Structure 1
């Protein structure tokens, strides 16, 4: 079984298969041919920790990824990455486009690096759209060349879109008639910003379409697992780099060779940590002992309605240190802030919306040490129930679950502040 893993930056669930008016017809077609996980969550809503967790099957702190790879953060052990695992089990592995689990792509151990893996405008005089298209075409060429080969391949195709800075908005988008996400104030500046996001999302979708068409052209659709996801939520305050669902909620679409649950939506809660064990079970490979997730195959085959009672996520370093942990059940979310109560300005991606919030007192808003939300009654996570007597037992239970998970996964935060580690050293 071949595996094609397609991923974007900072998309959350803002694509057409999740009901949003976002021009992503190729991903919509993939959703109709596969299965959409409506309640998928990353393990850390910042770029490198999220990707490290997905590709090692471990919490970011277990993998040693406490910050951003381009700032020097590394995995403790790259042999636990999915790529060397599959490479040691007969797969040819190839990277095309973005990776964010290592300071340099060569550290991961891919057999082949295609296109241009480093978005460096000083080397490639391209905008982000042209860069992604360039890599999509390189990925497509590789896939077409793999048709009829005996040994399977794993291809990671990573797109820069939909990361800030977004491309210039398409002229066809009329900002007067757009609505930004509900968490954003509706004004002209944010509508223009949203038009730029829509343009960026359309570019990513176009590139996904190039790769999907290559799979068809090579005649290998019935022997290829396709996974599409993103690292975390939109690159705006209280989304990316936050443990609210707007930060940890991600799109996840899978099309299996068997067309499991074709055209269906799955409401079970799942985690990025579950993808590595799913691949193991689907390929018949023995799962390595370090995995912390659950295979999704019982959901795909309709043998189970759920595979996990809780999903966990964390923040350590983004640009600045902001240690937080959370546990989410189907109904409740508990967040523990281990750092300062104030929001950290460098951890909010630069944008016009960020400037608008800062100008209007965002940094004076409260960020409590503990937060509890009833997600059935308050899906937007606006009402903190941490000190509501009626929820005392629920909060105590979730706090205990979170602490047990931290101990079971040897979270160093239990012992105090966690320094930014590079290559497994403090």
Structure 2
């Protein structure tokens, strides 16, 4: 029988988890990383929820599937047949979903034989993840099908709003906020709540992994853990900086020669789908754009990609950007005439409020940004006008344009303005909060 696949995923966790050295205790994920392979240079295809998930689960750039915005706001894939669940179902897999999916208005569109989302829309995030993990665990322990399974277990944590950390969890006075925001009392409290949210997600992961072990199926299961994009703070989620596109990716399976090792090879989440095809010895469908990194399980340091790409078109509001990242350089391009920050695309937080009060919305950013990540890993010095970097800029811009053409990017077809689908809900650029939803 082919190997089972257990796909575990959180919201908005980026790399702020223990396997990356963050001061966020996630012991179950740490154990998974130490027993599997941690990919330290893995990047999402889009630092916004639905497009990122569709990138991984279709093996394509999000714009190639027409997933240009958020599923709950009316954006959809052109064809859900390419979704990994549908694909594996057609390959003889039993497919099931527990908890969050963010690729379609309804799970029935994604090819799942069974799904559980009762309680998964509860406003209390702790209850939602507890319900998802508990029912996934029960399903594993009572699974009787004579087919391999693809099980997707989605956790709402660490999405905002974070559950409030108990007083005995951590003292916020000794918590460090992300590097992109000021170290203030309110931001320290906010980060403490994020840490508690990560603990809840980790506890939920542990429940499912424990059930998999007790079921006796662990040795015949490929375990994947990842998240959709960076954490929900300013200059992170919904940005093409590494703080937005850098993700946690861990894979574990029996026979992995790279077990207990890390890989620094540059990969994209769109590479997961073709990798699974190789691992399962299934012919890769023609629509895949990613590259298999199955070779990293024998040689973790071999090169898979010379570059990866990421994109934003819509999040809550229209903010089209594209980027190319190599092992050393990154070029980010914005494609609309607005060169200010878009507040609706920044999740509500104390740090957002403070930055707006300090004048963030009067600030502007460059339309193009080039960074030397070896000398400037925090992406603060824009080299786009540097004569010394002209050849690098020209090369990256050409490669970015070639990728956009090759993958049918609609930005090139419509003169840098991509209309939203009929009936979709988006925000105005001037809206301070994504809750001010209108149809433009």
Counting matched residue pairs gives: 419
Q: Structure with the greater relative contact order (CA < 8 A, sep ≥ 6): 1 or 2?
A: 1
Which of 375, 378, 390 is matched with 1:377 structurally? 375
**In the alignment, is the contact (CA less than 8 A) between 2:230 and 2:236 conserved in 1?**
yes
**TM-score, normalized by length of structure 1?**
0.96
Helix, strand or coil at the partner of 2:205: helix
Match of 1:179 in 2: 176
Deviation at 1:345, TM superposition (A): 1.1
Structure 1 residue ranges (4+ consecutive) displaced by more than 6 angstroms after TM superposition: none
Which of 289, 299, 307 is matched with 2:296 structurally? 299
**In the alignment, is the contact (CA less than 8 A) between 2:59 and 2:271 conserved in 1?**
yes
Helix, strand or coil at the partner of 1:406: helix
**TM-score, normalized by length of structure 2?**
0.93
**In the alignment, is the contact (CA less than 8 A) between 1:94 and 1:113 conserved in 2?**
yes
- Deviation per CA, 1:269-312, whole angstroms, max 9, x where unpaired? 11000000011000011000000001110111218611110100
Deviation at 1:115, TM superposition (A): 4.4
Unpaired segments of 5 or more residues in structure 1?
A: 122-126
1:219-298 pair list within 5 angstroms: 219-298=216-295
Residue 158 (structure 2) pairs with residue 162 (structure 1):
yes
Which of 334, 338, 347 is matched with 1:337 structurally? 334
1:11-50 pair list within 5 angstroms: 11-50=13-52
2:43 and 2:221 map into 1 onto residues whose CA distance is 24
- Deviation per CA, 1:340-398, whole angstroms, max 9, x where unpaired? 10111111111111101111111222311110000000000000000011000000000
Deviation at 1:422, TM superposition (A): 6.1
Match of 2:421 in 1: 421
Match of 2:437 in 1: none
- Deviation per CA, 1:167-186, whole angstroms, max 9, x where unpaired? 01122210111111212210
1:170 and 1:14 map into 2 onto residues whose CA distance is 20
Helix, strand or coil at the partner of 1:193: helix
- Deviation per CA, 1:223-242, whole angstroms, max 9, x where unpaired? 10000000000111110000
Helix, strand or coil at the partner of 1:268: coil
1:72-221 pair list within 5 angstroms: 72-116=74-118, 118-121=120-123, 127-146=124-143, 149-172=145-168, 173-221=170-218
2:246 and 2:73 map into 1 onto residues whose CA distance is 25
**In the alignment, is the contact (CA less than 8 A) between 1:99 and 1:117 conserved in 2?**
no
Match of 2:436 in 1: none
Match of 2:6 in 1: 4
Alpha-carbon distance change, 115 to 137 in structure 1, aligned in 2, over 3 angstroms: farther
Which of 311, 314, 328 is matched with 1:314 structurally? 311
**In the alignment, is the contact (CA less than 8 A) between 2:119 and 2:128 conserved in 1?**
no
**In the alignment, is the contact (CA less than 8 A) between 2:263 and 2:301 conserved in 1?**
no
Q: CA RMSD in A?
A: 1.5
Helix, strand or coil at the partner of 1:113: strand
**In the alignment, is the contact (CA less than 8 A) between 1:274 and 1:296 conserved in 2?**
yes
Alpha-carbon distance change, 212 to 346 in structure 1, aligned in 2, over 3 angstroms: same
2:137 and 2:423 map into 1 onto residues whose CA distance is 33
Unpaired segments of 5 or more residues in structure 2?
A: 425-440
2:61 and 2:423 map into 1 onto residues whose CA distance is 16
2:422 and 2:154 map into 1 onto residues whose CA distance is 23
Deviation at 1:120, TM superposition (A): 4.0
Residue 73 (structure 2) pairs with residue 71 (structure 1):
yes
2:411 and 2:122 map into 1 onto residues whose CA distance is 35
Helix, strand or coil at the partner of 1:313: strand
Helix, strand or coil at the partner of 1:146: coil
2:216 and 2:409 map into 1 onto residues whose CA distance is 45
**In the alignment, is the contact (CA less than 8 A) between 2:8 and 2:224 conserved in 1?**
yes
Match of 2:438 in 1: none
**In the alignment, is the contact (CA less than 8 A) between 1:337 and 1:370 conserved in 2?**
yes
Deviation at 1:103, TM superposition (A): 1.2
**In the alignment, is the contact (CA less than 8 A) between 1:298 and 1:304 conserved in 2?**
no
